[in-house]
Amino acid sequence: MTFEASNDLPVWQELYEKHRGRDFELHCLVVDVQGPGVVVPQIYLQTIYSMRIVLPLLLLCSAINLRSAEPIQFQSSTNRTPLVELYTSEGCSSCPPAESWLSRLKSNERLWKDFVPVAFHVDYWDYLGWRDPFGAADYSDRQRAYAAAWKSRSVYTPGFVLDGAEWRGWFNRDELPRASKQPAGTLTASSDDSKRWLLQFEPVARNSPALDFHAVLLGFDLTSDVKAGENRGRKLQHDFVVLTLTRAAPKRSGDLFQAELSLLPPSRFSMKRLAIAIWVTRHNDLSPLQALGGWLPPANQ
């Protein structure tokens, strides 16, 4: 038997009125979503004689939220937005002040508009006795690649990189520079679920060379009770922590570059607040041409 909802009563209530007093079993539920806000339920009932199923259970059918998460979209300005990278470690006693300085950017009104901050935790201090839970060899290699490009023989923490160049302004507590007035192009990121992303970049310069997209998931209000190493006995708090780094080579259609990628949060961390940062570079290059970032809505985390 198939029962379809009328226009007057909710499906569970009309079903209750029509079949009150009968013995039946809820066999299956099929929901046909024809568009936003249009839901046509169909409930298949199989009559039985050995059991009475309580009809108010069908109230659950009316309580299910069938709407998908709201789409998310971030877009840069045409002018270049700087990417600020911090290389840090829980095994470095000089890093907490730099991270505190970075954390204050959360409340800066220029955040995401004039700069996009990210914090890469390196692993080369782990040998001191404390393994940084956010550290990764890939992030250490990334910093070493910068050092090689600068003809430097060493890496250090805390180390800042601003748009692909070494930046020592933090040591003087300088403010980050304003967004560049140099036109670069428009970078756009959109997603329906905060996990699968469509990235697009339309550069100002025509006949652009091959490009790469880079995307990171950022964690905030993360803490660690450090048991060993230079910070032993300290409770450290971190923001803008890179949790996942992904790169994609876009397809080109005229002067539009487009790619799809996934950003999945690591299951080993409990995160209350997330953001993303995305930037575009020339193929196999480190220096960003354009960057964007933004907070993820709580419902999409």
Per-residue CA distances from 76 to 46, 113, 201, 231, 272 (Å): 56, 8, 10, 38, 25
Residues 87 and 188 in one domain: yes
The domain boundary, picked from 30, 63, 96, lies at 63
Two tokens, residue 265: 């949060």
Calculated CA dihedral for residues 203, 205, 208, 212, nearest 10 degrees: -30
The domain boundary, picked from 43, 63, 83, lies at 63
* Identity of the amino acid at 28: C
Residues 120 and 214 in one domain: yes
Residues 27 and 174 in one domain: no
Indicate the number of domains in the chain.
Answer: 2
Residues 150 and 207 in one domain: yes
Residues 10 and 103 in one domain: no
Q: Which domain holds residue 45?
A: 2-63
Tens digit of pLDDT per residue, the chain (301 long)? 444 444 555 554 565 566 555 654 444 444 444 444 444 444 443 433 333 443 443 333 333 333 346 899 999 999 999 999 999 999 999 999 999 999 999 999 999 999 999 999 999 999 999 999 999 999 999 999 999 999 999 999 999 999 999 998 888 777 787 777 889 999 999 999 999 999 999 999 888 899 999 999 999 999 999 999 999 999 999 999 999 999 999 999 999 999 999 999 888 777 789 999 999 999 999 999 999 999 999 855 5
Burial string for 270-283 (b: 16+ CB within 10 Å, else e) reads ebeebbbbbbbbee
Q: Are 135 and 89 in contact, with CB atoms under 8 Å apart?
A: yes
Q: Are 120 and 142 in contact, with CB atoms under 8 Å apart?
A: yes
